Amino acid sequence: MSRIAILSTAHVHTKPFIENMLKATDGRRVACIWDDMPARAEPFAKLAGAPFVADLEQVLADPAVDGFIICSENTRHLPLLRKVLPVGKPVFCEKPLVTNSADLAELRALIAVNPTALFGGYFQPFMAPMLPVIEVVRSGVLGDITRIRYRNAHHAAYARWFDNPEVQWFHNPELSGGGAFMDMGTHALHLVRTLFGPVTEAFAIIENHSAQYPTCDDFGIAHLRFANGILGTIEAGWTQTGGIGGLEVVGSKKTLWNTADGYVVGGPGEKPEPIAPAPANQPNRVDRLVAILRGEISADELRADLAASLDAVALMTACYASAKSGAWAKV
């Protein structure tokens, strides 16, 4: 049995995470829920059939708790991580882990003295359509990779997804750390960092295009210079009303790109060949936490993913700095 405590119910993913545990047949369950806003937590505790515990220290000290999920507002991750990591139990913290360079430096130091399992709410490298894509990228069949592009966006601004008072923090930078680029761009940065390695500098334009949530950005585009010489572009936003997102990888022999029917690979004069999705997803988010508790995720895999998650914060910081200065920013 995996007994998991949920710390804060601020994030829109809280309900799906609880539903994951309710539907599972392997004994996983919500042990308890803590929130600094009890009224916000009450419906989630009722849904989970779990107690609401007002005392955070009581939750942290509970020997019946096997692991933690942090679903607080983005800028409130670090205060919780300060308390949770020393407990020594696996932690799944929603993305991004933190939102600025000062918090990142503190988190790195915290991890160094509390080396428990920690991972973020990233799922794209673990999804069935992306798994064979990653294999193709790493196989060398594309030749020398020179350029990559990735779009991660939806129409949340025009659909007014964040009007509900309980999720208005998404467009309050004091709580979110940024806007759409922080929300959606972090997934893109984590994916391309996972696939193509460290980035040395970034140039970004991050703006508000829709005027729907004018307190923050709703779109951003960033150019990335990878340490291995690859040039990359990512787009992220809440203003995408159509089109095909996903990954494009240009190599000296072939190119990989996304279509309405899935990913394909093709070269000059060749008919593009489809890439069949994997049969299933790899464990991610709640499933990943449970897999860690069962010892099913290797230490090397956890270290590599944590490095990408931490570097995604450094990349995001550089992108926002570039957007402010109008110049390339070092990572």
Provide the residue ranges of all domains of the chain, joining segments of one domain with +.
3-120, 124-280+296-330
What integer pLDDT is reported at residue 290 of this predicted model? 98
Q: Does domain 3-120 have CATH number 3.40.50.720?
A: yes
Q: Residue-wise pLDDT tens for the chain (331 aa)?
A: 899 999 999 999 999 999 999 999 999 999 999 999 999 999 999 999 999 999 999 999 999 999 999 999 999 999 999 999 999 999 999 999 999 999 999 999 999 999 999 999 999 999 999 999 999 999 999 999 999 999 999 999 999 999 999 999 999 999 999 999 999 999 999 999 999 999 999 999 999 999 999 999 999 999 999 999 999 999 999 999 999 999 999 999 999 999 999 999 999 999 999 999 999 999 999 999 999 999 999 999 999 999 999 999 999 999 999 999 999 999 9
> Which run of H or E residues covers position 211?
none
CATH number, domain 124-280+296-330: 3.30.360.10
Instruction: Tell me if the pTM is above 0.95.
Output: yes
Task: Give the DSSP letter of residue 200.
Answer: E
| Strand blocks (E) in the chain | 3-7, 29-34, 67-70, 91-93, 118-120, 145-153, 199-207, 219-226, 231-237, 246-251, 255-259, 262-266, 273-274, 329-330
Tokens 């696996």 belong to residue = 90
Same fold for the pair 3-120 and 124-280+296-330: no
Burial of 236 (0-12, 13-18, 19+ CB in 10 A): buried
Contacts with 211 (C-beta within 8 Å, 6 or more apart), sequence order: none
Tokens 């004069």 belong to residue = 269
